Amino acid sequence: MAPVPLLSFLVDSPSAHRDLASARDALDRGAMADAAGHLAGALTSAPTLPEIHELLSRLAATAGGGLDLFPAEPYEPVGHAVARAHLLAAAGRPEDGLPLLAQASGSHPDLDWAGVPWVSDPALGARVDPGLLARTIMRLCTAVGDPAPVETVSPLRHYLTVIRNAVAAHGEQAMLLGAGSALARRLGEVRLAVEWAGRGAKAQPSKLGEIWLGYAYRSAGRMPEALAALRRAVAYDPDDLSVYADVAATLADLDRLDEALRWTELALERDPDFDCVVHTAHRLRYRADGDVGHLVALADFVRDHPDDAHEHTDLEECCRETPWLGGMPAGAPLPAGRAPVNAEPSADAVRRLLRVATTNWAHPPAAYDRALGLVLVEPWELLALLAHPSVTEARQPTGLEVWACLGLLHHGSEEPWLDSSRRRLLLGLLDGGLDRVTQAALFALITYAWVDPEARADVAAVVAGRLSETASGPSARAVAELALAAPGLDRPTRELAAATIRVPAIPRQRGRIVWRRFTPKRGSNPR
């Protein structure tokens, strides 16, 4: 086994050195199984540390090459599998070891599992079967996301080297080039992604080849060419509705929103529950008219379809940086407000509130879910927290009042909404002028309307009444921002809220649709 250059290791830790010392001692004593366990542990925190690979070389020199110490097992620890990969490479079978490293990279993509000489050796590219490498890379793409997080890009680039070497050795293999394009795109190598996808589509024209090419063109900002490739993909398989969503997203990015919506409608006529199309359709409808009802409908769909084939971010992207949909609005803070309970909350209650509090959230249902841990704080303590110094003395928005009120939603959740104690408590907090407590209580009511359709008419009436009371007062804008986040408001009330904060009733979103919603869930086929 070739030694790993000292400069190649990126991760080091005291635990790795402790495991390394224990492994060396076990090897000197002939306790091979103990040595194997410690080496597997060291690899999990410092996978390219040269001293670890020196000891693996000692194992590789034993009878059987040390492979019997790391037998394949279901649900094996990652260090165990990585050690077997290196020993396979030492035994002259690097093509069998590479999928194990890729599996480790999929589980922990921020660690440099593949930063070893045998991975970058051109001989590996010549030995590995192109189909096997393509499948390995596709599984890796499924795991790392699109785009890959910035901290994972450098460790994953080693796999691009393997693909380059394999392409040089095997020529125009369409699946390998397409899978390579998908990985290059995730790592920000857009020119390489376009090149490989184009070569793959030319070598073997197919629906998947055109999809890979369309995605590569999108990443490069070449929208007309992306649209043309995706239309060709539809021609190959008119029944693949996910491509209709792709075409719609691309048309929207070209500001051809009416055409984009027609593509979603055409697909929904065939299957009204096809997840990619449903997400795209609701997003584009919201982009067209700004009605939050489209996002509420999307949240309902997500709740009712937990096993969708892909992970989508449409709801989060639409809510981001929108007052109350994605977090507390910016601006001068309101007065602290009163708490209805004059008592001292426990230190544990304060800790739990501080643990969940944040001024941002993905969308209202996510905020509701985040507050679940506050079910362990008694309702009277949540109310008392509204008068705690950490809340009342804050000069900038902290979100503490919001989370105390959201916590109330998780108490007595078995009670029918209209007769529930949680509704009664929150309505009680609305008394008086607008302050941070009444604002938080109103948002909690709106949040509950997002997660429980049966509460929507009631909450909409409360919000409409509050907006009418404050329409000409100094707190009108604060209430209007909340109203625009509320499900079920009638059109005149929404228009009043929009006019109150002096924004167009039909806002126009100009940003590109983020394609991460098409990131497959683990085990599905990536694109």
* Rg (the chain; Cα; Å): 28
Q: SS3 of 519, please?
A: strand
Question: What is the rounded end-to-end Cα distance, in angstroms, of the chain?
Answer: 35
pLDDT at 351 over 90: yes
Band the pLDDT of 524: cuts 50, 70, 90: low
Place of tokens 């990536």: 526
Band the pLDDT of 508: cuts 50, 70, 90: very low
Per-residue pLDDT of 401-431, as tens digits, reads: 999 999 999 999 999 999 999 999 999 999 8
Per-residue pLDDT of 36-62, as tens digits, reads: 999 999 999 899 999 999 999 999 999
pLDDT at 480 over 70: yes
C-alpha dihedral sign at 489, 490, 491, 494: negative
Amino acid at 315: L
In a domain, 331, yes or no: no
**Burial label, 184 (beta-carbon count in 10 A; 0-12, 13-18, 19+):** buried
pLDDT at 523: 46
Nearest C-alpha neighbor of 327 from the set 395, 402, 396: 402
pLDDT > 70 in the chain, percent: 91
CATH value at residue 249: 1.25.40
Q: 276 and 381: one domain? A: no
Instruction: Spell out where 267-407 has E strands.
Output: 310-311
Per-residue pLDDT of 434-477, as tens digits, reads: 899 999 999 999 999 999 999 999 999 999 999 999 888 888 99
Q: 300 and 373: one domain? A: no
Q: 153 and 57: one domain? A: yes
Q: What is the DSSP string of 228-282?
A: HHHHHHHHH-TT-HHHHHHHHHHHHHTT-HHHHHHHHHHHHHH-TT-HHHHHHHH
In a domain, 40, yes or no: yes
Residue where a domain stops, chosen among 121, 141, 170: 170
pLDDT at 357: 94
Separation CA 459–CA 445 (nearest Å): 6
pLDDT at 426: 97
When divided into structural domains, the chain yields a total of: 3
C-beta separation of 227 from 213 below 8 A:
no
Q: 13 and 161: one domain? A: yes
In a domain, 87, yes or no: yes
Separation CA 284–CA 269 (nearest Å): 17
Residue where a domain stops, chosen among 134, 149, 170: 170
Domain span at 270: 239-320+514-520
15 alpha-carbon distance from chain centroid: 30
pLDDT at 525: 54
Separation CA 227–CA 252 (nearest Å): 11
Band the pLDDT of 503: cuts 50, 70, 90: very low
pLDDT at 24 over 60: yes
pLDDT at 526 over 50: yes
In a domain, 282, yes or no: yes
**225, HSE (Cβ side, Cα atoms, 13 Å):** 13
pLDDT at 527 over 80: no
Per-residue pLDDT of 7-19, as tens digits, reads: 333 344 678 889 9
In a domain, 406, yes or no: yes
Q: 301 and 376: one domain? A: no
In a domain, 270, yes or no: yes
Per-residue pLDDT of 68-103, as tens digits, reads: 999 999 889 999 999 999 999 999 999 999 999 999
Q: 387 and 488: one domain? A: yes
pTM comes to: 0.83
C-beta separation of 160 from 187 below 8 A:
yes
The mean pLDDT of 374-398, rounded to a whole number, is 84
Per-residue pLDDT of 321-347, as tens digits, reads: 899 999 999 875 888 877 777 788 999
The mean pLDDT of 346-368, rounded to a whole number, is 95
The mean pLDDT of 19-44, rounded to a whole number, is 93
Band the pLDDT of 433: cuts 50, 70, 90: confident
In a domain, 476, yes or no: yes
Q: 32 and 166: one domain? A: yes
Q: 301 and 394: one domain? A: no
pLDDT at 257: 97
Question: DSSP secondary-structure letter at 501?
Answer: T
Q: 351 and 312: one domain? A: no
Q: 84 and 119: one domain? A: yes
Separation CA 377–CA 348 (nearest Å): 8
pLDDT at 447: 98
The mean pLDDT of 119-145, rounded to a whole number, is 95
Cis peptide before 147 (omega within 30 of 0): yes
* Structure token digits, residue 327: 């977090």
pLDDT at 340: 77
pLDDT at 211 over 60: yes
Tell me, letter by letter, the H, E, C secondary structure of 8-53.
HCCCCCHHHHHHHHHHHHHHHHCCHHHHHHHHHHHHHHCCCCHHHH
Taking residue 309's Cβ as centre, other Cβ atoms within 10 Å add up to 16
Q: 257 and 143: one domain? A: no
Q: 373 and 463: one domain? A: yes
Residue where a domain stops, chosen among 170, 201, 223: 170
The mean pLDDT of 2-11, rounded to a whole number, is 39
In a domain, 74, yes or no: yes
pLDDT at 332: 59
Q: Average model confidence (pLDDT) for the chain?
A: 90
List beta partners, residue 520: 310
Separation CA 21–CA 27 (nearest Å): 10
